[in-house]
Structure 1
Amino acid sequence: MNGKALILLIDDDALLRDLLTRALIQNGYEVLAVGTGSEGLSLFDLHNPDVVILDVLLPDIEGWEVCRRIRRVSTVPILFLTALEEIPDRVRGLVLGGDDYIVKPFAVEELLARVEAILRRVRRVVPTASSVLEVGDGALVIDRERRQVQFQGQLLDLSPIEYAILVALAERAGRVVSIDELLTAVWGGPQEGSLQALRWYIWNLRQKMEANPKRPRWIQTVRRQGYRLNP
C-alpha cells in the first residue's frame, strides 16, 4: 500500500474507532478498522498488517483470545487498548505477546507516539559494520537486518519482545544489563506491569535456550542488578 505502514484497528466503540482511524490516516498510515474480533482475524489473514491495535473487551471474542490466535501464526506488533486498570490485567496482555498497552481513556497523541515507537523498534537496523551478532563462539547468531536468530544451529521462533530482550543482552554479552536498560530497550522505559512481564519473557527465553532452565548457563540473573548473557 504505497509503502505506508498498515494498521489493523479492532475496537467495538464506533466513535473511538472513527476518531483513531482519521488520526492515523492523517499521520500517514493506511488503516483497516473493524468492530469485532472475528472480523479482525479475517482481515489479519487477508492483509498482513504492520501493527495491530486491539481492544481487550470485544463483543464476540476477547482481545486476549484474538492475540493468542494471531501469535500462533505471526510476530506482528500488537498494541492493546484496555479499560482494565489493574496491573495483573496489563501483565496478562504483555505475557500473551502484546508489545504495548494503553489504558482508556487516553490522548490520541499518546497512541500515535506508541505506534511510532513500535514501528521504529521493529524496523530498526543497527548501523554497524556487520548486522550480525555472534555470542559464544557462534553458538548464538543474531542477524539484525533479517531479524533472525540461530541458536546452536537451529532457528529460534521468538516474539518481537523476546527478540528485543535477546538483542539487548547480546549487544552487551558478558556484562550485566540492568533492569532499566532492558525495560527501555523493549518498552521505552518502565511501565506498570512491565517488570513482571520482563521476568516472564526471560523465563520463556530460557525455556527455548537452556538445557536446564532452572540452572541457566546462557541467561543468568544477577540479583538486584539485572541479567547477563554469558559468552
Structure 2
Amino acid sequence: MMNGKGLILLIDDDALLRDLLTRALIQNGYEVLAAGTGGEGLSLFDLHNPDVVILDVLLPDIEGWEVCRRIRRVSTVPILFLTALEEIPDRVRGLVLGGDDYIVKPFAVEELLARVEAILRRVRQAPPAVSPILEVGDGALVIDRERRQVRFQGQPLDLSPIEYTLLVYLAERAGRVVSIDELLTAIWGGTQEGSLQALRWYIWNLRQKMEANPKRPRWIQTVRRYGYRLNP
C-alpha cells in the first residue's frame, strides 16, 4: 500500500471515465493506478499491492469476469465491479466470482467513493482478540484463522475467499441461527441486488464440500424464512 487513504487499481477501457475517476479518487486522498485493458490491469496488480480493485466487465481483451477469477486465485483484495451490465444474473455472477460490490453505470461518483470507503473500513476493521484455532463439532471442523486453513473430518477443505469468510462467520456462532441480513452485511456490507442469490449459491457450495448428503444437511442447516445455522 502507498501513502494516503489507500492504493486503488482502476481497470476500465473508457478513457474519459478513467480520467474522471482517477482525478476524483486522488482528490479524496487515494493513490491510483489506471489500466485500459484486462491484461494491463493484471500486470499492474502483479507489480503492486492495491487495496481495492475497481473493475469493468466489458474490456477489449480479457473480460472482467476472467480478470476477477485470476485475481481471486492469488488474493483476497476487495473487488468492486463497475459495469453497464445491470441484469440480476450479471450482479449474481459478479458476487459469486468473488466481487465485494457491484455498481451499474451510469452512477454518481459520490456513490462510488462512498462504496470504496465502506469496503476499506470493513476490511481494515480490527478483529477482536481470539484464539487463532476455532473448532466445531468436537474437532470435526478445525479452522486456523492465522493461516486461513480449514480441515474437515481430518481432511483439508479447499475454499474460495468468500466461502472461507462465510464458514468462519457461521463457525464463530455455531449453534446459533444467523439471519440472512446479518450474513449479507458480514460478507458484502449489506443487501444489494443479487447478493441473496449469491449467498444461497455459496451455502450450496459449502454443503457440496461438507455434507454426506447435501439435500439433507447435518452441518449447515436452513432455518426457513430466517437464515442458517452451523450445528456444533
TM-score by length of 2: 0.87
Task: Give how far 1:7 is off.
Answer: 1.5
**RMSD across aligned positions (CA):** 2.3
Q: Specify whether residues 139 and 21 from structure 1 end up closer, same or farther in structure 2 by C-alpha distance, changes over 3 A only.
A: farther
Task: Give how far 1:184 is off.
Answer: 1.6
Structure 1 residues 161-182: Cα deviation after superposition (integer angstroms, max 9, x where no partner) = 2233223312321021111111
Task: Give how far 1:104 is off.
Answer: 1.0
Select between 23-32 and 53-62 the one with higher mean Cα deviation: 23-32
Q: 1:114 aligns to what SS in structure 2?
A: helix
Q: 2:46 aligns to what SS in structure 1?
A: helix
Structure 1 residues 92-132: Cα deviation after superposition (integer angstroms, max 9, x where no partner) = 11112211111111122221222222223323332245455
Structure 1: gaps (5+ residues)? none
Q: Distance in 1 between matches of 2:146 and 2:168?
A: 12
On the 8 A contact 2:122/2:189 being kept in 1, the answer is: no
Q: Distance in 2 between matches of 1:118 and 1:44?
A: 18
Q: 1:72 aligns to what SS in structure 2?
A: helix
Select between 173-182 and 150-159 the one with higher mean Cα deviation: 150-159
Structure 1 residues 45-100: Cα deviation after superposition (integer angstroms, max 9, x where no partner) = 22232221100111222111211222233332211001111111111111122111
Q: Specify whether residues 72 and 145 from structure 1 end up closer, same or farther in structure 2 by C-alpha distance, changes over 3 A only.
A: closer
Select between 142-151 and 3-12 the one with higher mean Cα deviation: 142-151
Select between 171-180 and 160-169 the one with higher mean Cα deviation: 160-169
Q: 2:218 aligns to what SS in structure 1?
A: coil
Q: Distance in 1 between matches of 2:123 and 2:149?
A: 12
Q: Specify whether residues 84 and 47 from structure 1 end up closer, same or farther in structure 2 by C-alpha distance, changes over 3 A only.
A: same
Select between 142-151 and 156-165 the one with higher mean Cα deviation: 142-151
On the 8 A contact 1:122/1:160 being kept in 2, the answer is: no
Select between 89-98 and 207-216 the one with higher mean Cα deviation: 207-216
On the 8 A contact 1:36/1:59 being kept in 2, the answer is: yes
Q: Specify whether residues 229 and 204 from structure 1 end up closer, same or farther in structure 2 by C-alpha distance, changes over 3 A only.
A: same
Q: Distance in 2 between matches of 1:173 and 1:20?
A: 43
